[in-house]
Amino acid sequence: MSGIADVSGHTLAQLVSLAGRSCVVTGGARGLGKAIAQRLLEAGANVLIADLEDAVGEAAAAELSGRFDGTCLYRHTDVTDPDAVTALGDHAAQQFGRVDVWVNNAGIFPFVPLEQMDADTWDRVMAVNTRGVMLGAREAARHMTAGGGAIINIASTAGFRGVSPGLSAYVASKHAVRGLTRQLALELAPHAIRVLGVAPTYCVTEGNLLAAQEMGGTKVTGADIAAMVSTPLGRVGVPDDVARAVLFCASDMAMFMTGSTLLVDAGETC
């Protein structure tokens, strides 16, 4: 093995560019995933969005394809289903000729206090948030073995510490994502496949607004959340705060990085 490429002679524009590269983003129909897909497309990549929400996913792919030179496609995929995730990787390779970047973003965060936690809820959170990450990484690696690539796992500040009551399964699952990121980085390094985690704090997304609405029983807006959430840097997170960090990890800017999970939390975990 000769090691990962030395890109120190490349210009900044070359380092940030994903021109000619092919990316998969799970859970990309909305929220953080859609913002990530958008930045990857802006950097020149083609992107395959995977999700359960077909109408939303198709609309996102059509919207993003219309705004950038690259192609954005959608494919229905349950990230907990091994066959579906295999088919997702094969579809990306068929459509774009290669797979260079795989973002394991799909995740769920049901609020269930421990006294009410049942085994099915626990297993579902683990299936989406951890098994889904393993399956995605496995399929990504299958396609990247020849030419290298980057796998980015969306963790959370909840992978560094406990958070609100009711999130025990979520917190456990995101700690597991950090562990998996470290282990897979070692396993895949010989193939020049980098594995990185990105750990956001609370960001206003459709999923979070729905969760807040379910808990409170009334409609909640992004402005309501912004008024409630404070961070050391003074504002609540928005999806693009996370998408820019994912683009950095996916690009050659992060060529010498693997195994770490980057906090994107406005200083909240300091």
Ligand X SMILES: NC(=O)c1ccc[n+]([C@@H]2O[C@H](COP(=O)([O-])OP(=O)(O)OC[C@H]3O[C@@H](n4cnc5c(N)ncnc54)[C@H](O)[C@@H]3O)[C@@H](O)[C@H]2O)c1
**Looking at beta carbons only, is 135 or 192 nearer to ligand X?**
135
Residue 80 CB, nearest distance to ligand X (Å)? 5
Distance CA 103, CA 133 (A): 9
- Which of 47, 48, 200, 220 contacts ligand X by CB under 6 A? 200
**Looking at beta carbons only, is 90 or 206 nearer to ligand X?**
206
The string of DSSP codes covering 26-44 is: ETTTSHHHHHHHHHHHHTT
25 binds ligand X (CB under 6 A): no
Binding mask 103-132 vs ligand X (x if CB under 6 A, - otherwise)? Answer: --xxxxx------------------x----
Distance CA 254, CA 91 (A): 27
Considering only CA atoms, give the Rg of the chain: 18
Nearest to 238 by CA among 212, 215, 211, 206: 206
Residue 114 CB, nearest distance to ligand X (Å)? 19
For the annotated catalytic residues, the residue numbers are 170
Q: How far is CA 200 from the centre of its chain?
A: 10
Residue 41 CB, nearest distance to ligand X (Å)? 17
Number of residues near ligand X (by CB under 6 A): 30
**Looking at beta carbons only, is 175 or 255 nearer to ligand X?**
175
**What residues numbered 32-61 form the site for ligand X, per CB under 6 A?**
32-33, 50-53
**What residues numbered 149-168 form the site for ligand X, per CB under 6 A?**
154, 156
In three-state secondary structure terms, 152 is: strand
**Looking at beta carbons only, is 144 or 242 nearer to ligand X?**
242
205 binds ligand X (CB under 6 A): yes
258 binds ligand X (CB under 6 A): no
The total of other beta-carbon atoms located within 10 Å of residue 53's CB is 15
- Cβ neighbours for 183, distance < 8 A, ≥ 6 positions apart: none
**Looking at beta carbons only, is 30 or 39 nearer to ligand X?**
30
Residue 95 CB, nearest distance to ligand X (Å)? 18
Q: Is 116 exposed, middle or buried (0-12, 13-18, 19+ CB in 10 A)?
A: exposed
Q: Are 40 and 92 within 8 A, CB to CB? A: no
79 binds ligand X (CB under 6 A): yes
Strand partners, 200: 264
Binding mask 166-185 vs ligand X (x if CB under 6 A, - otherwise)? Answer: --------------------
Three-state SS letters, 161-206: CCCCCCCHHHHHHHHHHHHHHHHHHHHHHHHCEEEEEEEECCECCH
240 binds ligand X (CB under 6 A): no
**Looking at beta carbons only, is 205 or 258 nearer to ligand X?**
205
> Which stretches of the chain bind ligand X, using CB under 6 A?
26-27, 29-33, 50-53, 77-80, 105-109, 128, 154, 156, 200, 202-203, 205-208
